[in-house]
Amino acid sequence: MAESTTAIALDRPRSPRRPAARRSNFELYSWLFMRISGLALVVLVLGHLFIMNILDGGVHRINFAFVAGRWSSPFWQFWDLLMLWLAQLHGGNGLRTIIDDYARKGSTRFWLKMLLYVSMAVILVLGTLVIFTFDPNI
């Protein structure tokens, strides 16, 4: 970047002595993650919705035996695990952005995000555990 190094007194946002601690590429990576995960989720989620809701009788054929049949295949286990993680992180990051956009008070932001992160952790741990510990002979 060809930034002027002459000693001009710049206003606050462009001041060269901005605190270094605030500079991070997190938002760039989260922006990129939304696009990469989004692309994968288009296939994973639309495939899931098509199979579960539209194909061959849709939701009416879903029961425990149906789930047991699907999760007997490592392919669908991996599909669901990847979909769970990507959807939860993609959606969680989207909600984080929305909280930052609309919550005005610092404390409201903080507690809404805490609620978000706790619920994300609960869903990720629970979902992962269910996929890995599923027992068709329960």
Partner 1 sequence: MTTTASPPTGAGNVRRGGTLYFGDPGMWSWVLHRITGVLTFFFLFVHVLDTALVRVSPSTYDEVIASYKTPLVNLLEVGLVGAVLYHALNGLRVMLVDFWSKGPRYQRQMLWGIVVIWLLVMIPGTYFMLERTISELFGGA
Are the C-beta atoms of residues 128 and 64 closer than 8 Å to each other?
no
Is 69 an interacting residue with respect to partner 1 (CB under 8 A)? no
Which of these ranges, 3-11, 12-20, 59-67, 105-113, lies near partner 1 under the rule CB under 8 A? Answer: 59-67
Instruction: Report how far residue 91's alpha carbon sits from residue 4's, in angstroms, rounded to the nearest whole number.
Output: 41
Q: Can you give the length of the chain in residues?
A: 138
Nearest-approach distance from CB 126 to partner 1, in angstroms: 5
Which of these ranges, 5-13, 21-29, 91-99, 104-112, lies near partner 1 under the rule CB under 8 A? Answer: 91-99
Number of residues that bind partner 1 (CB under 8 A): 37
The residue from 16, 18, 29, 39 that contacts partner 1 (CB under 8 A) is 39
Which of these ranges, 10-18, 20-28, 56-64, 107-115, lies near partner 1 under the rule CB under 8 A? Answer: 56-64
Site for partner 1 in 11-30 (CB under 8 A): none
Nearest-approach distance from CB 67 to partner 1, in angstroms: 6
Instruction: Report how far residue 118's alpha carbon sits from residue 85's, in angstroms, rounded to the nearest whole number.
Output: 15
The residue from 35, 74, 75, 106 that contacts partner 1 (CB under 8 A) is 35
Is 74 an interacting residue with respect to partner 1 (CB under 8 A)? no
Instruction: Report how far residue 48's alpha carbon sits from residue 58's, in angstroms, rounded to the nearest whole number.
Output: 11
Q: Which residues contact 131 (CB under 8 A, 6 or more apart)?
A: 71, 77, 80, 81, 84
